[in-house]
Amino acid sequence: MMQAEPQPAPQLQPRLASQWHGVHDTYRNNLAGIQLQTESSADFSGQDISLKFGDLLYSLLQNDFLKTLKLANCRLTETCLLDLFEVLKEHPAIETVNLTKNRMTVKTVGSLKELLESNRKLKKVYANIPFG
């Protein structure tokens, strides 16, 4: 019987990898801990994670069970949100994301629309959408 080739670990897209190079391991460890406990929710609400955001993106790429991600009031910039949406487009399990009290812009709203069109698992997104 032939064994399947092991799959390589997911990698950040080159632009994301260079942008988020050198960030800390705090959030990678947090999601790794969730994986060990097989929990389906991660709550980073109220934490300023913008400087450590690369670890979160990397962890999401390696995670295939997380259903709820709470990032309310995390001071996420437009760049953070755009990169998050790119990663979530391919996430196999995410159903709910809370992004309230972050910097949604016209550009991020357009990217969010693309995310919702491409990832049919994603059912609920909470966000403050700008008008005008």
State residue 132's pLDDT score. Answer: 59
B/e letters for 90-124, b = 16+ CB within 10 Å, e = fewer, are: ebeebebbbbebbbbeeebeebbeebeeebeebee
Q: What is the pLDDT of residues 5-36, one digit of tens each?
A: 544 444 455 555 545 444 444 455 556 554 43
- Which parts of the chain sit beneath pLDDT 70? 1-38, 132
